Chain A
Amino acid sequence: MTDHNHHDPMQQLRKLLFKEEEARISAIEEVRDNEELHAKEISEVLVEALDLRAHDEGLGKALMPAVETAVSESIANDPKAFADALFPVMGPAIRRSIQYAISEMLQSLNQTLEQAFSPKSMLWRWEAFRTGKSFAEVVMLNTLLYRVEQVFWIHKETGLLLAHESFDPSLTEDADVVSSMLTAVGDFIQDSFQGSPNQEVQSLRLGDLEVMIEQGPYSVLAVVCRGNPPRSLQVTLGQTLEHLLQTFHDVLKTFDGDTSHFSASHDMLAPLLLVDYVDHEKKPPIKLIIALSILVISFVGWTSWNVEQKLALKHRWQSYIQTLKETPGLVITDVDEHEGIHHIYGLRDPLAIQAASLLKKFELNEAGVQYHFQPYHALDHGMMLKRLWHLSKAPSSVSFKIQDDVLYVYGKASQAWLSELQLMTQWMDGIALVNVDAVDVPKPPKTFQERVMMLWQPIDSVQLHVQGDAVMLTGSATIAWLQQAKARLASLKDMASYDDHAVLRLDSVDYILQLAQQALHPPRGVHLSITKEHILKAQGAASASWIANAQKKSVALKYILGFDAKDLKILNKVNLARVIAALEPPASVDLFLNKGKLLVKGEADGRWITFANLQALNIKGVQSFQNQVKQIWHADAVLEQAKLRLHPEPSVQLSFADGVLHARGQASKRWISFVHREALHIDGVFTFDEQVDMIYSDEEILKIAMTTLQPPEGVRLQVSQGVLSILGEADIAWIESLKAQVAVIPGLQSFDIKSLHAKAQADGWEQLQIQVASTRLQTFANHPLLTVKDEAALKRLSNIFHRAVELHPDSRLHLAIAYKRSEKLVLMMRNHAIHQGLKKYGVFESQIITDFSENQGVKQDSRIVFTVIKQP
């Protein structure tokens, strides 16, 4: 074919003319036939193509079925992703429709309420009156609808607190814990009620508090409200949450525990702290109006019945007013009556009689009158004299007269009172002058202090204090001067007391001695004293230099007339050589000598220490001795001492080394306990090391055997030379358990059960039951596993059980559990500790019945009671 084509001139011509076109056509053909290229081609123009036909309704219709399936499949796969994406769009729309529904419902509810007549407010007034609370308070309590007390904004996944607002700032402290707890509670509830992950908790109620929760993507908003929050609050929460999501979307998405990004949320969260009261605007209460009308009508009736009395009253009233007008010190300017009350206006001198006190005389009621008096001073002589008496507090020996604006004073009065009177009257209207010529003024006596000062003036260093008729001196003076002063003042007959003990006696022996001590600083061995003749005397021993110095200084001291050093020894210095010669210390002792003070340190035996204590202060020149030598002991001496005091039993060896006393061998219990009390009291023994084997007496062994084995009735125990004999009759279980238990009795050499016989098996079943019932397990609170003691009990139990099975092949071990602390036992059983324990000995779980409900009354420890039962 190719060949043919090749040679066909027509073909060749075509090839020449259409070579290019041919290539293009085959390229187009390839595109048409190859689907992959086809799709690629279309994809390049698809967007533009759709754009071109965007306004064509047909396109939308054509695409609809495909888009619908795609969307519904996507939602089916992961509804949450879709909901999260739609949340900002759908939230507001849904809310608006719900809001509309709610507001309509509220509207109708409101109308129903308004039409009903409510006596509530009357009730509240009554409640306020009854409880003594203020009306406002009662209304507050009754009308608080709700209050949002706290707002938590919580990160959904971690439960961590993003931000918190509270109406009471003191509540902020545990907000983070509350936040986590809220999340956990949500999880818990969902978990417990098997809610699906898309059903979330919306509100919780705790007594008076309601927690409202609004869940959003990434975060949750929870508010704690007191009272009954309106459902519209949930809408507000939703809005806020959306707003928060918009603002903090990016930080929320990548939240890693750092809450500092969210501080700006305050402005959005704080407005959620809402509070609302019930609105009680109501129509006028008809019942109240009726009640008031009845009251008014009865009042009118009552008034007309009283008209006659009123007329008589009016007459008495007029007489009363007339009397007031005539009373000195009162000026009546106006009288009127208003709402049943008489009002009297006018002026009243404070010293005039009370207008009200006259009411009684006219049979008038005080409650019906109100006085409106302005105070004023009446200027008639009577009132003026009264005022004078009152103001000047005049003594009864005085009398007054007023004539032509002049006040005449008569009688006896003090000068002080007269001057006061004169001063006072200057400001009184109606008195121009005071005439006191006729007054007899007695001269005042001199005060006590004036008389003291007249008699005697103290020197500068002494201060005089006079209080009433007591005299006190302070300061400093010589003894002679003080004696003189006392003598002078003795002539004052009315002096109640004289006290000069606070005055420092400058020439007293004590004071001079004090000055001398300060000036001379005598060393410890010197004693200073002052003789009667004021000679300073020194006794004791001192260095020559101090003596010379003291002599010089004492001359300069005031009130000291000489220095007497006759009884003062001049001190010799000691030297170390003399001390060593006297004490002969061992090489392990160091001596220190400083200004007559001797100190010894190091180690030495007790004998030298005692010798040094006796001898040291006898060495000439040694003034003090301090012994800090540590006592050491010679091993031989200590051991000797120990043997003497401890009386070791013959089979005991004692030895001593490095402060440790060792005891080895064997001894009785009595000696061992004695030696423990005694050993550390031996001089030189610091540690006691006892490794002595106890020798038990037969009685002791018997005692231990009795408590360990607890022989049942019919069994006797005997111990002789360390051998335990068990005689009598016992059941097989007890006998079988003997071997293990005998092994733990200390001091026992061997045991003998030749004379012990097993009890007949006739009543075996009951016996077994008793044995099982008396088995006890002890458990420990902090650890649920079985202890060694329990193991022994379990072993015994399984032995018995095996025998029970022999008797009754279908018997069961019944574990009744008596307990105080259920959780502990639950744990025990949970770990199958008992079952496992018994399994070791061949008792299987299926053979055990566990019963927790029995014996709940047991108060003391946790106990497990076992019984063996025959299976019915």
Chain B
Amino acid sequence: MIQKKICVLGAAGVGKTSLIAQFVYSKFSEKYLSSMGVKIDRKIVQLESQQVNLMIWDIHGEEKFKKITSSYFRGASGVIMVADGTRPDTLSVAQNIFQRVEQDVGNIPSVWLLNKVDLEDQWCMSEGVVKQLNEKYVSVYQSSAKTGENVEQTFFNIAENMLNV
């Protein structure tokens, strides 16, 4: 079976761990435990043509004094970039990380998530921002780790893209 490494990246507290927990274990918790270092999960995904064993690296959120080192995304075949749709500044953090990924790993498939879309009353992403992102990065979803909205699609999309490279 084909194995692929993917990294889930973004600012702290945007819901990276929650998205993975929803995808791998169909679970969600309101509790916030800030991740340290890396945690790795595995899920086998059945695509139309074949099966892929995704090794999903959940990397700690980027913070001012705790930058993500590039050794974590070395060897990745794809990245999931996550921002919190209720906190606009997390989007620029994600874009900053992505620049470093492109520098170190080169051009690999990416999926962009504006997460926590279930928090409608606090949502800060205008249609315009979403459109701009779409033009720039192609695969952009508004997701929710809480309701599971677009979570499966995200991982299937990245799996497909990685195999078509």
Contacts and interface: CB of A to CB of B under 8 A. Distances in A.
Contacts of A160: 3-5, 55, 75
B32 A181 contact: no
Contacts of B77: 158, 257
10 contacts: A156-B75, A159-B5, A159-B75, A180-B42, A257-B4, A258-B2, A259-B3, A784-B87, A823-B32, A830-B63
Interface stretch (A88-96, A184-192, A391-399, A434-442): A184-192
B71 A782 contact: no
A176 B34 contact: no
> What 3 A-B pairs have minimum CB-CB distances, sorted nearest first?
A158-B75, A157-B75, A184-B38
Contacts of B122: 783, 785
A180 B71 contact: no
A155 B42 CA distance: 16
A264 interface: no
B86 A783 contact: yes
Given A784-B87, A823-B34, A831-B89, 7 more contacts: A160-B3, A160-B5, A160-B75, A177-B41, A181-B38, A187-B38, A257-B4
Contact of A188 (B5, B38, B42): B38
Q: How large is the interface on B (under 10, 10 to 19, 20 to 34, 35 or more residues)?
A: 20 to 34
B148 interface: no
A826 interface: yes
A176 B4 CA distance: 11
B55 A177 contact: yes
A184 B71 CA distance: 9
A180 B119 contact: no
Contacts of B119: 783
Contacts of A256: 2
B74 A157 contact: yes
B55 A827 contact: no
Point out which of A157, A160, A180, A785 has the most chain B C-beta atoms below 10 A from its C-beta. Answer: A180
A188 B40 CA distance: 13
Contacts of B13: 784, 827
A781 interface: yes
B31 A781 contact: yes
Contacts of A190: 71
Interface string A254-278: 0011111000000000000000000
A217 to B, nearest CB: 14
B3 A176 contact: yes
Interface of A: 155-161, 174, 176-177, 180-181, 184, 187-188, 190-191, 256-260, 781-785, 821, 823-824, 826-827, 830-831
B112 interface: no
Nearest to A160: B3
A158 B32 CA distance: 29
Contacts, number: 90
A664 B71 CA distance: 68
B74 to A, nearest CB: 6
Contacts of B32: 781-782, 821, 823-824, 827
B55 A188 contact: no
Nearest to A186: B71
B55 A180 contact: yes
B5 to A, nearest CB: 5
A410 B86 CA distance: 115
B3 A161 contact: yes
B57 A180 contact: yes
Interface in B46-100: 52-53, 55, 57, 63, 69, 71-72, 74-77, 86-87, 89
Nearest to B13: A827
Contact of B42 (A176, A257, A782, A784): A176
A159 B42 CA distance: 13
A487 to B, nearest CB: 80
Point out which of B12, B32, B34, B63 has the most chain A C-beta atoms below 10 A from its C-beta. Answer: B32
B1 interface: yes
Contact of A831 (B37, B41, B87): B87
B3 A187 contact: no
Nearest to B5: A158
A259 B1 contact: yes
B30 interface: yes
A249 B89 CA distance: 46
B129 interface: no
Contacts of B86: 783, 785
B38 to A, nearest CB: 4
A600 to B, nearest CB: 48
Contacts of B72: 184, 187
A784 B72 CA distance: 27
Contact of A830 (B4, B12, B41, B69): B12
B18 to A, nearest CB: 9
A782 B144 CA distance: 13
B40 A180 contact: yes
A257 B159 CA distance: 12
A161 B5 CA distance: 11
A83 to B, nearest CB: 19
B40 A184 contact: yes
Nearest to B1: A259
Contacts of A187: 38, 69, 71-72, 74
Contacts of B40: 177, 180-181, 184
Nearest to A155: B75
Interface in B1-53: 1-5, 12-13, 30-34, 37-38, 40-42, 52-53
Contacts of B5: 158-160, 180
B118 to A, nearest CB: 10
Given A176-B3, A259-B1, A782-B32, A159 B87 contact: no
A782 B33 contact: no
A156 B119 CA distance: 41
B107 to A, nearest CB: 16
Nearest to A162: B3
Contacts of A259: 1-3
Nearest to A176: B42
Nearest to A188: B37
A189 to B, nearest CB: 10
B71 A191 contact: yes
B97 to A, nearest CB: 16
Contacts of B1: 259-260
Nearest to B89: A831
Nearest to B60: A188
A509 to B, nearest CB: 68
Contacts of A158: 3, 5, 55, 74-77
A157 B89 CA distance: 32
Contacts of A174: 42
Contacts of A831: 87, 89
A323 B42 CA distance: 87
A608 to B, nearest CB: 50
Point out which of B1, B5, B77 has the most chain A C-beta atoms below 10 A from its C-beta. Answer: B5
A783 B4 CA distance: 33
Contacts of A181: 38, 40
B2 A826 contact: no
A257 B38 contact: no
A827 B75 contact: no
A738 B38 CA distance: 51
A197 to B, nearest CB: 8
A781 B76 CA distance: 33
Contacts of B55: 158-160, 176-177, 180
Contacts of A155: 75
B42 A177 contact: yes
B2 A257 contact: yes
Contacts of A260: 1
B115 to A, nearest CB: 12
A259 B55 CA distance: 14
A187 B57 CA distance: 13
Nearest to A824: B32
Contacts of A785: 86-87, 122
A243 to B, nearest CB: 23
Interface in B117-148: 119, 122
B151 to A, nearest CB: 17
Given A177-B55, A783-B122, A827 B2 contact: no
